[in-house]
């Protein structure tokens, strides 16, 4: 990406092992993330550009001398950020703050929207998939890379428990994944707030019991009406604007929890008297997705959940710029890339 | 209180039973709260004035026909807000949001800084004390009314667990009570941030392992140094200014929790990118102090904790205006009132 709206498909040097802990992965399946759309809308123009993509699965082509858990030929999935999975933060399940972690597309690391990637800290980062390259489960397994783990992080940090009412704000792939996660954790009522009928219909398939198309104050009123007047026990905010944050505060019950998953497009939010008097907890954040892969994978493999349904289009590398445009224009929910 | 700086001692009508669930309590011991200082500094002048005080213990003089758990002659303590203790919010431990609750000094209810108070929902609100009017434990038992329960709420919502490092920001009575509460829940390291040596010395007696006198960025640096560079697992913010909130964010570890107890003197706070990337949880609020009285009282009665030491001055009703001034000028930590 060279700037807002400027995505180019170009040849880059083949990745090579640089550190003993590296692995080279040939990308089998990748995709475009909702968070890729923020720079697509606002990134200042640059001469050098920046490799994009942080969700992929693929086959290991080569491993550094320090890699012991994986070998060439393994089909693996990556969480959207790499990590050593051994430091104190990783051990407590906060791989997003790994002491040796980092992000794809930065610091000389390739992006996942390409043919091959050098993965740092491969032993810690990559998880072997027990299926073949031709498995029809690959799209669902790819969601372990980001959206499913992110939705799960929202449900976990929101404290979803059996019987809870949960409001999910946002009908993008993360919001829809949060519906899956909330249902998986036993939520009794799952209200999905979104106005794209095709997406909210998918949300109903995933477990949403109610859909609210209204936004702002009307959305708050409708969500409160659906929860007996008091608001939802848990709110998962999967958009990231100040308006959706205000909606979350308006629609959460006193003593309830708001978990945020959307990258916030603002700096300050309402932290004053009302939040204190109502004992509202604000939590969530960048998902330590590596922490959740082993827990979620069995449900994907046995078909209990089918998160790959968030992909509604597939492109080759040449069409990646079109994929960005389609997602930015809301013509596509989430686009799969087969290099 | 008739306005900022304008506290008057005046005769008011004797309270009478109005509802069957009321009780009339003769006040034995009351006090001035740190939160009383906010209106003392900023309340617009009024002609009618407002009864003050929300922390007291006393003897029941009369009960309404619907009061069944208490009787005349009982020595009782009140949480700082009254509640029915039976509604759905109360049952889940959020008495601060009771559907029939309210605050002393408002809506025709007396303040606790006086001779007698009509207490609504007496059965739900008041808790009988198993000691006599002359017990030396009364000051410590009075802290069950607010500061001890509030400090405990901070430690509970911050999620303090055995072995944790806890930073308490603020050396007022609530901050010091939070030190007691954090120690009681097993915190291994308790850093108290405050610059009044007499108060921080008391904090050390209560269980603080370290004291940080610096504020702002220097305070953050010192707190991080004391926690191995990463910040405290839990931060209890017991002041309520934007500066102390920023300090809390600066001094909490990634994935950690900030619990706020101070009434915020601002509307917006930092809810942007950093909070998300670092997975910081913001929680706390008005303590449902009624929920904690039975849990905390045994430790007061058996002397395990001695929270009454936060009182460093005692006055009669005539000197209450002086008490406000002394606390506002930081000449007194917390003033006891014996009507």
Across the strands, what pairs with B30?
B56, B337
Q: How far is residue B191's CA from residue B213's CA, in Å, rounded to a whole number? A: 10
Per-residue confidence band for A106, with pLDDT thresholds at 50, 70 and 90: very high
Dihedral, CA atoms, A216, A219, A225, A228, nearest 10 degrees?
A: -80
Once rounded to an integer, what is the mean pLDDT over residues B41-61? Answer: 96
Subunit contact B282:A271, Cβ cutoff 8 A = yes
Q: What is the pLDDT of residue B265?
A: 86
- pLDDT single digits (tens) A286-298: 999 999 999 999 9
Per-residue confidence band for B333, with pLDDT thresholds at 50, 70 and 90: very high
Q: How far is residue B325's CA from residue A266's CA, in Å, rounded to a whole number? A: 41
- pLDDT single digits (tens) B191-236: 999 999 999 999 999 999 999 999 999 999 999 999 999 999 999 9
Chain B contact for A260, CB < 8 A?
A: yes
With H, G, I as helix, E, B as strand and everything else as coil, classify residue A63.
strand
Nearest Cβ partner of B271 from A263, A269, A286? A269
- pLDDT single digits (tens) B137-187: 999 999 999 999 999 999 999 999 999 999 999 999 999 999 999 999 999
Chain B residue numbers touching A269 (CB-CB < 8 A): 268-269, 271-272
Q: How far is A73 from chain B (nearest CA, A)?
A: 34
Residue B263 reports pLDDT greater than 90: no
Once rounded to an integer, what is the mean pLDDT over residues B326-333? Answer: 96
% chain A with pLDDT above 90:
96
Q: What is the pLDDT of residue A216?
A: 94
Q: Which domains does chain B have, with CATH numbers?
A: 23-146+289-337 (3.90.180.10), 151-284 (3.40.50.720)
Q: What is the pLDDT of residue A265?
A: 86
Subunit contact A264:B276, Cβ cutoff 8 A = yes
Q: What is the pLDDT of residue A133?
A: 96
Per-residue confidence band for A28, with pLDDT thresholds at 50, 70 and 90: very high
Per-residue confidence band for A9, with pLDDT thresholds at 50, 70 and 90: very high
Per-residue confidence band for B79, with pLDDT thresholds at 50, 70 and 90: very high
Q: What is the pLDDT of residue B284?
A: 97
Across the strands, what pairs with A252?
A232
- pLDDT single digits (tens) A258-317: 999 978 888 998 888 999 999 999 999 999 999 999 999 999 999 999 999 999 999 999
- pLDDT single digits (tens) A179-231: 999 999 999 999 999 999 999 999 999 999 999 999 999 999 999 999 999 99
| A59 close to A25: Cβ distance less than 8 angstroms | yes
The ipTM assigned to this model is 0.95
Once rounded to an integer, what is the mean pLDDT over residues A52-71? Answer: 98
| A114 close to A328: Cβ distance less than 8 angstroms | no
Per-residue confidence band for A321, with pLDDT thresholds at 50, 70 and 90: very high
C-beta atoms surrounding B191 within 10 Å: 26
Subunit contact B272:A273, Cβ cutoff 8 A = no
Chain A residue numbers touching B286 (CB-CB < 8 A): 276-277, 279
Across the strands, what pairs with A59?
A26, A75
- pLDDT single digits (tens) B99-117: 999 999 999 999 999 999 9
Per-residue CA distances from B97 to A166, A204, A282 (Å): 20, 33, 18
Q: What is the pLDDT of residue B262?
A: 79
% chain A with pLDDT above 70:
100
Per-residue confidence band for A46, with pLDDT thresholds at 50, 70 and 90: very high
């Amino acid at each position: 990406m060279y700037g807002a709206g400027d995505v180019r498909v170009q040849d880059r040097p083949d990745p090579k092992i640089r550190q003993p802990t590296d692995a080279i992965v040939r990308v089998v399946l990748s995709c475009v993330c909702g968070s890729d759309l923020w720079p697509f809308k606002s990134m200042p123009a640059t001469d050098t550009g920046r490799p994009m993509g942080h969700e992929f699965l693929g086959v290991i082509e080569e491993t550094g001398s320090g890699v012991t858990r994986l070998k060439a030929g393994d089909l693996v999935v990556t969480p959207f950020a790499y990590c050593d999975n051994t430091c104190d933060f990783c051990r407590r399940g906060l791989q997003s703050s790994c002491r040796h972690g980092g992000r794809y597309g930065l610091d000389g690391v390739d992006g996942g929207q390409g043919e091959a990637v050098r993965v740092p800290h491969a032993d810690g980062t990559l998880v072997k998939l027990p299926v073949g390259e031709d498995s029809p489960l690959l799209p669902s397994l790819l969601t372990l890379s980001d959206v499913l783990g992110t939705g799960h992080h929202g449900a976990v940090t929101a404290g979803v428990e059996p019987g809870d009412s949960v409001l999910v704000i946002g009908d993008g792939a993360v919001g829809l994944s949060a519906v899956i996660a909330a249902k998986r954790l036993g939520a009794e009522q799952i209200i999905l707030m979104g106005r794209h009928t095709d997406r909210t219909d998918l949300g109903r398939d995933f477990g949403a019991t109610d859909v609210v198309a209204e936004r702002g104050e009307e959305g708050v009123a409708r969500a409160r009406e659906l929860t007996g007047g008091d608001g939802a026990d848990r709110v998962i905010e999967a958009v990231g604007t100040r308006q959706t944050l205000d909606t979350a505060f308006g629609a959460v019950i006193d003593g309830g929890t708001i978990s945020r998953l959307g990258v916030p497009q603002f700096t300050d939010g309402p932290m004053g008297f009302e939040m204190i008097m109502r004992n509202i907890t604000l939590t969530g954040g960048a998902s330590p997705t590596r922490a959740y892969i082993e827990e979620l994978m069995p449900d994907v493999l046995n078909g209990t959940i089918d998160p790959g349904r968030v992909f509604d289009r597939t492109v080759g590398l040449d069409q990646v710029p079109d994929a960005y445009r389609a997602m930015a224009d809301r013509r596509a929910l989430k686009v799969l890339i087969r290099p």
